[in-house]
Structure 1
Amino acid sequence: MLKIRQTNLVSGEVQVPGDKSISHRAVMFGALAEGTTTIHGFLPGADCLSTISCFRRMGIEIEQNGDQVTVHGKGWFGLTEPAQHLDVGNSGTTIRLMAGILATQPFHAVMEGDESIARRPMRRVVAPLREMGAKIDGRQNGEYTPLAIRGGELTGIDYRSPVASAQVKSAILLAGLQAKGRTSVTEPHLSRDHTERMLKAFGVEVVCDGLTVTVTGGQTLTGRTIHVPGDISSAAFLIGAVMVVPGSSLVIRNVGVNPTRTGIIDAVRAMGGRIELTNERVVNEEPVADLVVTHAPLTGTVIEGELIPRLIDEIPVLAVIATQAQGRTIIRDAQELRVKETDRIATVVSELSKFGAKVTPTEDGMIIEGPTKLTGAAIDSQGDHRIGMAMAIAGLAAQGETTIANAEAINVSFPGFAALLEKIAR
C-alpha cells in the first residue's frame, strides 16, 4: 500500500531509472552478439530482470549488479534449447521480441508469463513470423500464451503492419536478421525505433526509409558498451507532478529524448506547460538531454493521430494532468490502450473518477473536463505499474490522503518511485 498526501510544491534535481525499452534490447542484443557487452544504467525492474532470466535459461552468462550488467555473448546461434519454459513475467517486450529471436533458432522453446500476459494479444507477432516460416502454436491458434516455437530456416518478407507497434516491428526485424534475403516492415505511423538504433550500434546495417525499415539476412552483432539513458516514460510522471502542483519546477537529468518517444513533451507544451531541453547529446545512437520542467497554467487540447504511438504509455499521466487544465481534453485513436497490462481506458476512467475527476470513456480514448478539485481516494493499481504511478501523481494534487493498493506493480518500471516522490514533494 502506497500512501500519498497533497503537496504544496514539487522541486529539486533528480534522475530517473534507465530506459526500459533500451535495457531489454541491450541484454537481448548482447546475448546474440559476438563477445562481451557491458551495460551501464540498466533498469533493474521486474520486466528487464525477466529478460535476463530467459537468456540465462538459454545458456548465456549474465552478471548483474544493480544497474551494471555484463553479458557474455555467444553469437546468434550460441543459445541452447531451454530445459524449462521461459517465464517472461509481466513483460510484453520480452515475449514479443524473443518470439522473433526464437523463430530463428534450431530448437524448441515455450514462453509463458503472468495472468496479464495471458490476456494480451500475440497473433500480431505470431502471424508474420509464421509467414516467414516459423512453427508457432499457442492458445486460440497462437493468439494467447503459452507460445510454443520451433524455429528454423526463415524467408524474408515485406510486411505491412496494421498497427504502429515497436514490438511487432522488432520481432520481424530480429527474425529477418537470420532469414534468407531481405525483410522489411512498413507501419501506419512511426513507432519507437530503439531496435533500429541499437542494431546499428551493434554493427548491423539497417535501412530506414520513412515508415519502412529493412534488414538483410545473415548479419552478425558485435559486443559493445551501452549507456542507457533515463526513461522518458518514467520522467513523464515527474513532469505530471510539476504540472498538477502550481509553482513547481524540476530538473530531470540524463533523459532519453528519442523523437519517437517525446510525444509527452509535445502534448504538455501544447497544453501550455513549460519543458526545456538542455545539455543535448547523442549516446549509442540515442539522443539524450536534461529536462527543465516548470509549472504553467494549462489549457485542454486534442491528443490524436500520429502523436499517439509517441506517447501511448504516458496517456494515464496525461489524463491526470488534463484534470487540472482549463477546458476539455480529448484523447482519441488510442484503442491500443485496451490491450496493455490492463484495459487502460477503463482503468484510468474508473480510478481517476474516484478522485472526483470528470472523465468519460470512449471506444478509442477518453474525454476529460477541467480544471477539477480532486479529493484523496482509495485507489487500486490493478497490477498495472503505470496506473499506480499516475494515480500517485493525482494524489499530490488531491485534498487529504490517497492510498494505492497493489503498489508493488510500480517496481516493474520504476523501482524507488515512492522514495523519489517523497524527496521532491515539499
Structure 2
Amino acid sequence: MMKLMQQSQHGLHGTLAVPGDKSLSHRGLILGAISQGTTELRHFLPAEDCLSTLTALRALGVAIQRQETTVVIEGRGINGLVRPQQPLDMGNAGTATRLLAGLLVGQNFETTLVGDDSLSQRPMERVQEPLMRMGAQVALTAGHLPMRITGQPLHAIDYQMTVASAQAKSALILAALQADGPSKIIEKLPTRDHTERMLQAFGGQITTASDQRTITVSPAKLQGQMITIPGDLSSAAFFITAATIVPGSKLCLTNVGLNPTRTGLLSILERMGGRVTIRQRTQVGEPAGDLEIQSAQLQPIKLTAQDIPAVIDELPLVALLAATADGISEISGAAELRVKETDRIATIVTELRKLGVKITERPDGFVIDGREPWHVQDTQLDSHGDHRIGMMMAIAALRIQEPVTLANASAINISYPTFFEDLQRLQANTEVSK
C-alpha cells in the first residue's frame, strides 16, 4: 500500500518536462531494428512497457545499447532478424505485442509471444484476422496470448478496418512493408498516426489520402535515423488534469508532443472551460510545444463514439474532470475501455465511487454528476494493476482531505516510473526538469 498525497492548500506549481512518448519509444525501437545502419533515440522512455519491446528485439538478434534515456540501435534490415531461442515475454505491453505481430508474420521463422496475466486477457483477433488475409499464419489461444506466429511470404491487401485501433493499423503497416506490392488500409475512424509519421522519417513509402482514413504502404528499405522523442502527452495529461482540478494551481509542461491525433483531451478541456495555453515550439515530424495550465471551474460535457479515438487513453481523466464539473456529463461509445489493461469502465466507476463521486456505469461509458460534493466512502484505493487508473486516483486524492492509500501502485512503472517523484516536487513548488 502507498499513502497518497492529500489536498494542497496552495495547489501545484512549477515547470515539468514529462518523460518521452511511450508510443514513439515503441515505434522508434522497432523501425530502428529493421532499418539499415544506426538509429539513435533521444529522450526514450525507460518504462517497463518500452523495455519489454527492447528486450524482445534483442532476442530477435538486434544489438541495442541504452544509457538512461538514450538508445542506440544497430539495424539489421527488414530481413535480418533471427529466430529467438525462447518465447518473447511481452510483459504488459499491448502496443509492442500487436506491432511485433505485424512484423514477425513476414519473417522466415516461428515465434511465440506471451505476456503477463493482464495482457493475456486482451483481445488479439483484431490483428490476427487482417494479417491472415495477407497470408500470415497466426495461432491464438481462445483469441488471446500465447500467440504463435509462423513467418510466411505475404501478399498485398486492400483492407477495411472494423475497429478504430492504431495498434491494429500499425501491425498491418509493418506487415505491408514485407508484402509483394502496395497495400491499402482504410480506417473505420482516424486514429493516432505515429507509425505513419515515423515510417516516413525512416524513408518508408507511405501516404495518407485527404480523407485521413485511407493509407497506402509499399515495401521499402528503411534507413537509420537520429530522433528526439517529445514528451508523452498521455503522461502530461495527468498533470494537466491535476492543475485544472486542484484550486490555485499553475503549471508549465515543456516540449510535450502535440500530434493532432493525440490532443483530444486538450479539445475536451477547451469545451469544458479549462485554462490551457499552448505555446507551439515545432511543427516538423511530430509537433511539440509548451503547455501552461491553470485551475478552472469546469462545465459538463457529452462525448460520443466520434470523440473517443482521439482520447481513448485519457478517458479515465475525462471521467475525473467530469466529476468536478458543474453539471451532468455523459460519455458513450467507449466500449473499447473494457478490453484495456483492466475493464476500465468498471474500475473507474468502482474507484471514483470510493471517493464519493456520483457516477453511473453504462455498457459503453458512464454518466457523472459533478455537482455533488465528494464524501469519501473508502480510503483504500486500488490501481487494479492498471497504470492509468493508479495515476488517475493519485490525482483525484489531491482533491480530498482524508488520508488514502493506493494498492498495486507499482503498476505505474509500466508507463511513468518517476510519476510520484514529479508530483511531489510540483506540490512542494520545486521546479522539475529532465
**Contact 1:352-1:359 at 8 Å conserved across structures:** yes
Show the 5 A alignment for 1:123-138: 123-138=125-140
Asked whether 1:270 is paired with 2:271, we answer yes
The CA deviation string for residues 292-337 of structure 1, in whole angstroms up to 9 with x for no partner, is 1111210101122322111100011111111111001111111100
State the alpha-carbon separation in 2 of the partners of residues 366 and 272 from structure 1: 21
Matched, 1:72 2:54: no
CA distance in 2 between partners of 1:416 and 1:113 (Å):
24
- In structure 1, the partner of 2:161 is 161
What is the match of residue 398 of structure 2? 396
SS in 2 for 1:156: coil
Q: Which residue of 1 aligns with 2:149?
A: 149
> 1:354-407 CA distances to partner (integer Å, 9 max, x unpaired)?
000001111111111013433552101010000000000100001221211100
Amino acid at match of 2:273: G
Structure 2 contact 255–281 (Cα < 8 Å) conserved: no
SS where residue 241 of structure 1 aligns? Answer: helix
Q: Secondary structure at the match of 2:221?
A: coil
Distance of 1:344 and 1:67 partners within structure 2: 30
Aligned to 2:87: 85
Contact preservation (8 Å) 1:190, 1:306: no
* Equivalent residue letter for 2:45: L
Report the Cα distance in structure 2 between the residues aligned to 1:398 and 1:371, rounded to whole angstroms. 15
Equivalent residue for 1:248? 249
Structural mapping, 1:20-419, within 5 Å: 20-140=22-142, 143-209=143-209, 210=211, 211-217=213-219, 219-283=220-284, 285-375=285-375, 377-419=379-421
- Write the letter of the residue equivalent to 1:182: P
CA distance in structure 2 between the partners assigned to 1:325 and 1:366 by the alignment: 14
Letter of the 1:274 partner, please give it.
R
Report the more deviating stretch, 349-358 or 367-376.
367-376
- Shifted more, 93-102 versus 362-371: the winner is 362-371
Q: Give the distance between the partners of 2:307 and 2:275, measured in 1 at CA.
A: 19
Does the aligned pair in 2 maintain the 1:177–1:215 contact within 8 Å? yes
Equivalence for 2:432: none
Deviations 1:55-76 (A, max 9, x none): 0001111011211100110111
After the TM superposition, which parts of structure 1 deviate over 6 Å for at least 4 consecutive aligned residues?
Answer: none
In the alignment, the residues of structure 1 paired with residue 322 and residue 423 of structure 2 have an alpha-carbon distance, to the nearest angstrom, of: 20
Quote the Cα distance in structure 1 between the aligned partners of 2:327 and 2:74.
54
Q: Secondary structure at the match of 1:286?
A: coil
Amino acid of the residue matched to residue 300 of structure 1? P
Query: More strand by proportion, 1 or 2?
Result: 1
Amino acid at match of 1:228: I
Tell me, in whole angstroms, the C-alpha distance in 1 between the residues paired with 2:357 and 2:62. Answer: 49
User: What percentage of residue pairs aligned between the two structures are identical?
Assistant: 47
Separation (CA, whole Å) in 2 of partners of 1:27 and 1:276: 32
CA contact (8 A) 1:6 1:401 kept: no
Tell me, yes or no, if the aligned pair for 1:17 and 1:415 is still in contact at 8 Å. Answer: no
Q: Kindly provide the amino acid, as one letter, of the partner of residue 212 in structure 1.
A: T
What letter matches 1:111 in structure 2?
A: L
Greater CA drift, 244-253 or 375-384: 375-384
Q: Quote the residue 2:431 is aligned against.
A: none
**Native 8 Å contact 1:375 1:399 kept in 2:** no
Residues of 1 paired with 2:386 and 2:351: CA distance? 12
Residues of 1 paired with 2:372 and 2:56: CA distance? 46
Whole-Å separation in 1 of the counterparts to 2:190 and 2:147: 27
Query: What CA distance in whole angstroms lies between the structure 2 residues aligned with 1:62 and 1:282?
Result: 29
Q: For the residues of structure 1 that align with 2:392 and 2:373, how far apart are their CA atoms?
A: 16
User: How many Å separate the matches in 1 of 2:414 and 2:105?
Assistant: 27
Instruction: Specify the SS of the correspondent of 1:128.
Output: helix
- Aligned-residue offset at 1:185: 1.3
Q: What is the rounded CA distance, in whole Å, between the counterparts of 2:67 and 2:319 in structure 1?
A: 36
- TM normalised by structure 1 equals 0.97
Question: More displaced, 397-406 or 87-96?
Answer: 397-406
Structure 2, unaligned runs of 5 or more: 429-434
**How far apart are the structure 1 equivalents of 2:402 and 2:311?**
30
Q: What amino acid sits opposite 2:101 in the alignment?
A: A
What amino acid is aligned across from residue 272 of structure 1 in structure 2?
A: G
Partner of 1:423: 425
CA distance in 2, matches of 1:260, 1:2: 34
Q: Tell me, in whole angstroms, the C-alpha distance in 1 between the residues paired with 2:306 and 2:202.
A: 29
**Counterpart-to-counterpart distance in 1, 2:276 and 2:372:** 23
Provide structure 1 residue ranges, at least 5 long, that are not aligned to the other structure: none
Task: Kindly provide the amino acid, as one letter, of the partner of residue 156 in structure 1.
Answer: A
Offset of 1:117 from its aligned partner? Answer: 1.0
C-alpha distance in structure 2 between counterparts of 1:124 and 1:394, whole Å = 34
Superposed CA offset, 1:151-201 (max 9, x none): 121011111111110000000011001101121211121010000000000
